[in-house]
Amino acid sequence: MENYNFKAIEKKWQDKWEETGAFHAETNSEKPKYFTMIEFPYPSGAGLHVGHPRSYTALDIIARKRRMEGYNVLYPIGWDAFGLPTENFAIKNKVHPKIVTAKNIENFTRQLKMLGFSFDWSREVNTTDPNYYKWTQWIFLQLFKHGLAYKQEMPINWCTGCKVGLSNEEVVSGVCERCGSEVVQKRKSQWMLKITEYAQRLIDDLDDVNYLEKIKTQQKNWIGRSEGAEVKFKLSTGDEMVVYTTRADTLFGATYTVMSPEHPLIEKMKDSIKNYDEVLKYKAEAAKKSEFERTELAKDKTGVKLEGIYAVNPANGAELPVFISDYVLVTYGTGAIMAVPAHDSRDWDFAKKFNLPIIEVVSGGKNVQEEAYTDVYKGNMVNSEFLNGMPVKEAIPAMIDWLEKQGLGERKVNFKLRDWVFSRQRYWGEPIPLVHCDKCGWVAIPESELPLELPEIDTFEPGDNGESPLAKAYDWIETTCPHCGGKAQRETDTMPQWAGSSWYFLRYMDPHNNDALASKEALEYWSPVDWYNGGMEHTTLHLLYSRFWHKFLYDIGVVPTKEPYMKRTSHGMILGENNEKMSKSRGNVVNPDDVVNEFGADAFRTYEMFIGAFDQSTPWSQQGLKGCYKFLERVWNLQSIVTDEEGYSADLEKNMHKAIKKVGDDFERMKFNTAIATMMSLVNDFSKKGSVTRGEYMTLITLLNPVAPHMTEELWQIYGNDGLLSLQPWPSFEEEKTVDDEIEIVVQINGKIKDKLMIPAGLDRNGTQEAAMNTDKIKGLIEGKTVVKVIAVPDKLVNIVVK
RNA sequence: GCACCUGUGGCGGAAUUGGCAGACGCGCUAGACUUAGGAUCUAGUGUCCCCGACGUGAAGGUUCAAGUCCUUUCAGGUGCACCA
């Protein structure tokens, strides 16, 4: 027996798999299909993080098991390669992002290949490849043609130092994450996508998919559906102010109203507002505040009363003051509210600050002068005329019915979800394939001109005014209008990184197609993705955006399913040994190259799966890694005690069947750690016994193959088997052989364990009870006491209740 | 502030359904082999006044029986941030 030489073994089998195309998926094979997918990585300069392989190994195990179960498996890989870090690196080092990207991809490819994932490399996609982004642009054009893309003035985060637009993630405490300069809001005309049109469907169709419950919850919270009413308030100017409320029941408790500073009515009424100067000043201050400041000052409410104006409460005719305040958002509801300080804590804060009356209309809480009472499940209406005595849950619809009858308001559903800001003033993204013509406005370029490639430019820095670097590519910008043939200019904004990742799973189905994003045939065969695993950090935006695009593509007949992903799971983070997030600055980064070099890919994969509960974050441990290496070595060394016997030995037969069942089930439940623990126990059994039959050994390495594929392939070959172990059938078990003949049960007296005994498995309730009561120990313990009750659970325990 | 998740030995974690808490691994202790051991093998390892009792962040409750269910509470993490 040779020593376990992982370096030679791993290289050998990786080459073999590649030569034989072992993991290539075939469209329209006779076998049932299985499409399993991980989030394709952003090829950063830092290389692979030990967090990446956690997800990749997990679904590699699923993919490999499915192949062994006879499925035609698609387990693809690609690159989400547009994006800021690459562009920033390019600016700093004056290299073309294309070159940086190619280099990073090369490194990532080397690292992924060294880990032996069973990806179908022939289907590799790259979002920055013009043949790929041709179709990203094509989808955008369809959205544009269907009226789902529009241009609007939106504020962006603008770094005064770097002179670039920043994403929200790059703004830390109001300053630029990289240079520390002040970040201000700058208004820019931006492309928007109408995701809000799909809000309801994005909630409803969650019923049809198998996502982890917490993922569904996050999606729903993000979309933020609320049911309420729009209520019309007459103003003293004769204008009408519409407010949105979910608590129509509290209308009698409204003591003032608030409009957001940006509300259009303010300008309309400027002649009636006596303190308009003050109002303008407040508006200017609010506009200056960054999003960050507005939220930071959440508790300290500010505002200005509109002098000379009042609103009329439609319920009781009361005259209410009208304020403007930045705690009311122009983007949500109608941009105006009725304030009920007794039953809303924000209104309560504001009322206290401005000394406004607080009227209780729901009883059941503490003194509303001390604290707002917001519970909607307890309490009854008071001070509310026809609503008095009703519980809140009844009062809400009763009030809305009344408002509708009087023509004073109507039911209304609102969503927190906003339309998707789709423009980036950046170079390294997909060009938006539109031109602006003075005569025709925004016009789509003909689909035959796709892809619209990024122009070659020398400097990737954005302009001083925050335009895209493309704004300086004058030759590229100037073009003719496809509609009227006149002069026109190209759009210089590019798409966000979310674009390419919103549909990449479709491209995997048919990655080299030049006539469509994928053929009808491929889409029909492979859709939907059966199992998609990724980080919890992508479960809101990325998932929502790609579901939105997919629904749109479904509506226009491009894809055959409503939902892109049938099953979505998430993995936890791997932390540094010190229990902190891994980062260069904390000096706790583990490099996969080092691990593989020292212990091999199989040990790395095994440890990544053994490290802890898959969905939980957990710290790295070099010792734990060593333990897994030792386990593999023990499996390897079992060779010295293998017998010629083909089947299972009599004394270990049950263990074998149990293990096959347990390992298979655990893989499916993503309990990889306990699956490996089961195999470790099996190895312990063999060692203890001092021998293992060839049949047992072959089953063990087959079960272990998805986790440690290289070593098990080698052992498979050493034992004279033909073909790849990776393509052998998954071991089967017999249910009846997973049950022991005799089972140890526990005998309790008053819930405390007093005795244990072996009884035949499957013995009924009475038999179990009888056996338990008749041991000498138990007889002695219950002697002289009154047996009140006996609970017998077959195959488990007997509990004797005595007095 | 709101939502979601997690609290179990010295450590990572097990305990699919309410039914033997601590599987498996690490670490530690002792022994064997050895010139040597950061190698390998064997045995032990929740706590305690070691009979027996106590133990799953804390306090209550339901139950014959609770890590698991309910109520309250504390701590940590993640997401969202005045969404009316």
Cα dist from A272 to A238, A268, A269, A275, A309, whole Å? 11, 9, 6, 9, 7
Quote the mean pLDDT of chain A.
91
Confidence grade of residue A178 (pLDDT, cut at 50, 70, 90): low
d(CA A310, CA A285): 24
3-state secondary structure of A502: coil
Q: Which residue has the higher pLDDT, A340 or A371?
A: A340
Q: Is the pLDDT of residue A236 over 90?
A: yes
pLDDT in tens, A432-454: 999 999 999 999 999 999 899 99
Q: What is residue A169's predicted lDDT score, i.e. its pLDDT?
A: 60
How high is the pLDDT of residue A719?
A: 94
Model confidence at A675: pLDDT above 80: yes
Write down the pLDDT at residue A771. 87
The arithmetic mean of pLDDT across residues A418-424, rounded, is 88
Per residue in A130-153, pLDDT tens? Answer: 999 999 999 999 999 999 999 988
Residue A128's pLDDT band, with cuts at 50, 70 and 90, is very high
Task: Give the pLDDT score at A214.
Answer: 87
Q: Interface pTM (ipTM) of the complex?
A: 0.94
C1' nearest to CA of A676: which nucleotide? Answer: B24
CA dist., res. A12 & res. A4, Å (int): 14
Say what the pLDDT of residue A298 is: 61
A447 touches strand B (CB under 7 A): no
pLDDT score at A171? 67
Cα angle: A79, vertex A80, A85; to 5 degrees: 115
Give ranges for CATH 3.10.20.590 in chain A. Answer: 740-802
Token output for A201 = 């469907």
The whole-angstrom separation of Cα A360 and Cα A92 is 61
Name which residue leads in pLDDT, A460 or A637: A637
Longest Cα separation, chain A: 107
pLDDT of residue A312: 96
A294-302 long-range contacts (CB < 8 A, ≥24 apart) are: A294/A326, A298/A327, A299/A349, A300/A353, A301/A325, A301/A327, A301/A346, A301/A349, A301/A350, A301/A353, A302/A326
Average pLDDT score over residue span A378-390:
90
* Closest by CA position to A693, among listed A759, A646, A731: A646
Q: Taking 70 as the threshold, does the pLDDT of residue A296 lie above it?
A: no
**At A569, is the pLDDT very low, low, confident or very high (cuts 50, 70, 90)?**
very high
Rounded percentage of chain A residues whose pLDDT exceeds 90 = 70
Instruction: Give the model's pLDDT for residue A414.
Output: 93
The residue count of chain A comes to 803
Q: Among A72-76, A96-100, A382-386, A586-590, which stretch is predicted with the lowest mean pLDDT? A: A586-590
Burial of A21 (0-12, 13-18, 19+ CB in 10 A): exposed
pLDDT of residue A37: 96
The answer, yes or no, to whether residue A99 has pLDDT greater than 60, is yes
Q: Which residue has the higher pLDDT, A189 or A126?
A: A126
Within residues 644-683 of protein chain A, the ones with CB less than 7 A from nucleic strand B are: 662, 665-666, 669, 671, 673-674, 676-677, 680-681
CA of A646 to C1' of B79 (A): 54
Residues 6+ apart with CB under 8 A from A331: A418
For chain A, where do the domains classified as CATH 3.90.740.10 start and end?
225-415
What is the third-level CATH fold of A592-737? Isoleucyl-tRNA Synthetase; Domain 1 (1.10.730)
Q: How far is the CA of A89 from the C1' of B66 (A)?
A: 56
Using CA atoms, how far residue A153 sits from A188, A578, A714, in Å, is 5, 46, 62
Measure the CA–CA gap between A240 and A487, rounded to whole angstroms.
Answer: 45
State whether the beta carbon of A335 lies below 7 angstroms from any atom of strand B: yes
> Is the minimum distance from the CB of A491 to strand B below 7 Å?
no
The whole-number pLDDT of residue A424 equals 86
pLDDT at A91: 86
Q: Does any strand B atom come closer than 7 Å to the Cβ of A8? A: no
Sign of CA dihedral A474, A97, A451, A420: negative
Query: Which helix (H) or strand (E) is A539 found in, with range?
Result: none
A217 touches strand B (CB under 7 A): yes
pLDDT for A183 equals 73
**Count of CB atoms within 10 A of residue A197's CB?**
16
Instruction: Pick the range with the lowest mean pLDDT from A161-175, A291-305, A347-361.
Output: A161-175
Return the nearest residue to B63, CA–C1'.
A751
Q: What confidence tens digit (pLDDT) does each residue in A640-666 have?
A: 999 999 999 999 999 999 999 999 999
Please state, in angstroms and rounded to a whole number, the distance separating the CA atoms of residues A479 and A608: 53
* A719-748 pLDDT, tens digit each: 999 999 999 999 999 999 998 888 888 999
Residue A616: burial class (beta carbons within 10 Å; 0-12, 13-18, 19+) = exposed
Spatial distance between the Cα atoms of A634 and A708, rounded to a whole number of angstroms: 13
Average pLDDT for residues A323-331, to the nearest whole number? 90
> What is the CATH class of A740-802?
alpha beta
Q: Residue A295: its pLDDT value, please?
A: 58
pLDDT at A535 over 80: yes
pLDDT band at A154 (very low <50, low <70, confident <90, very high): confident
What confidence score (pLDDT) does residue A102 get?
Answer: 96
Residue from A272, A276, A245 nearest A258 by CA? A245
Residue A183 near residue A289, CB atoms below 8 Å: no
Could you list the beta-strand ranges (E) of A340-458: 409-415, 420-421, 434-437, 441-444
Is A292's pLDDT higher than 60?
Answer: no
Amino acid identity, residue A505? Answer: F
> Tokens 């070959």 belong to which residue?
A717
Digit-coded pLDDT (tens) for A469-525: 888 888 899 999 999 999 999 999 999 889 999 999 999 999 999 999 999 999 999
Q: Name residues 515-544 of chain A with a Cβ under 7 Å from nucleic strand B.
A: 536-537, 540
For CATH 1.10.730.10, the residue range(s) in chain A are 592-737
pLDDT of residue A177: 66
Span A491-504, pLDDT tens digits = 999 998 899 999 99
Q: For A113-136, what is the mean pLDDT?
A: 97
Of A residues 135-194, those with CB within 7 angstroms of nucleic strand B are none
CATH of A225-415 given 3.90.740.10, 1.10.1670.10, 3.40.50.1100, 3.90.1150.10: 3.90.740.10
Q: Is the separation of the CB atoms in A619 and A573 below 8 Å? A: no
Pairwise pLDDT comparison (A249 vs A156), residue with the higher score: A249
For the cut 60, the answer to whether the pLDDT of residue A297 exceeds it is no
DSSP state of A238: S
